[in-house]
Structure 1
Amino acid sequence: DGTPFPTLFWLTCPLLIKRASHLESNGYMRVLTDRLGRDEQSRGRQQDAVYRYSARRDAHEVIEATQPGGAPDRIKCLHAHLAHELADGPNPVGSATLAQTGWPDCLVPCVEVPE
C-alpha cells in the first residue's frame, strides 16, 4: 500500500522504485546473494554495511530489530539497500543495484524544493 514499514531509509523516487522492482522480479537478488556466497571480499564489505546500518538504526528504538533488506549474506529487498546506499553509503548491494538502475533520468523533478 506504499506505507513505509519500520526501516531506517525509505526509497522515495518513483523511477528508482520501478527500476528496483523490475530487478527484483527478474531475479537480481539471487545474483547478488550468490555473489555474496562465493566472494568473501564482497560478503565482508556487505557485512560492514549492515553493521554500520545497525549502529545507526540502534539510535532509533522503535525499529531496533530491523536490518537493511535481509541479512549480511542474504538479499531480500533491493529497495532498502538502494535507499541505504543513497542516504548513508557505502552499501555494496545498493551500489550494485544503482549500477543496474542508473541515476534517475527524470525530465522534471517529482517534488518541489522550496527556495
Structure 2
Amino acid sequence: MTTPPFAPLSDRDLVVLRAQLGRPARGVVGVAARCVCGNPTVVATSPRLPDGTPFPTFYYLTHPAATAAMSTLEAAQVMPAFAEMLHDEGVAEAYRAAHRAYLEDRTLFGDVPEIEGVSAGGMPTRVKCLHALAGHALAAGPGVNPIGDLALERSTWSPDVCMCAEPGPGG
C-alpha cells in the first residue's frame, strides 16, 4: 500500500510551488499528486526540513483552489460530523490504517524521533486538519484515507478539473 517513490521535481515544479505557496518550497522530496494540467497539487516533504526542524506533514496540499475548498469545509464546521464517524468501527479501523500507511510512506524518507508515531490531520483518533487528510487521500488514492476521501467528495474542488491560475505543461 506504500505510495512513494516520487518522480523528481522539475525546475517548473519549483516555480509553480513558489507561486502556490507564496514562498520557496522547503524540504520537498517529490510531487505526490498533480492537477490534470500537470501542476503540483500535493507535495511530499522530508520529515526533517533542511534547517533541522522536524516536519510531520509528509503530504502537503499546495494547490490554492484545493486548499481554499478545504478551508471552506473547515469553516462550515464539518469536522465534528466527520469525527463522529470515527465511532463506527469500520471507519475507525480504516482511519487507523491510513495513519499507519502515512507513517510508512514518510519513514521511507527518514526517521525523526521527535515526530515518531505522529502523522497528520489528527490521525488516528481525531479529525483536525482537512488539508492534510485531503492531501493524503490525493497522494495515496481513493480508499486509503476515508476522511480525506470524504472531504474531497464534499468539497467544491475536484482533482479532475483544472482550476490553476496558470495552466501546467499539459493544460
C-alpha distance in 2 between matches for 1:85 and 1:69: 11
Structure 2: unaligned runs, 5 residues or longer = 1-20, 27-53
Question: Could you say which residue in structure 1 is the equivalent of 2:154?
Answer: 100
Structure 1: unaligned runs, 5 residues or longer = none
More helix by share: 1
More strand by share: 2
* Alignment pair present for 1:54 and 2:103: yes
Task: Give 2:131's match in structure 1, choosing from 79, 82, 85.
Answer: 79
Assess if the C-alpha contact under 8 Å between 2:135 and 2:148 holds in 1: yes
Ranked by relative contact order (alpha carbons within 8 Å, sequence separation 6 or more), the top structure is: 1
Q: Which has the larger radius of gyration?
A: 2
Counterpart of 2:76, as a letter, is N
Q: Aligned in 2, Cα 1:70/1:8: closer, same or farther, shift over 3 Å?
A: same
Within-5 A mapping of 1:59-70: 59=108, 60-62=110-112, 64-65=115-116, 66-70=118-122
For residues 36-72 of structure 1, what are the alpha-carbon distances to aligned partners after superposition, in whole Å with 9 as ceiling and x for unaligned? Answer: 12x1111111111111111122232247433121131
Assess if the C-alpha contact under 8 Å between 1:58 and 1:64 holds in 2: no
Within-5 A mapping of 1:28-47: 28-37=78-87, 39-47=88-96
Question: What is the CA distance between 1:27 and its match in structure 2?
Answer: 1.2
Assess if the C-alpha contact under 8 Å between 2:65 and 2:163 holds in 1: no
Number of corresponding residues: 112
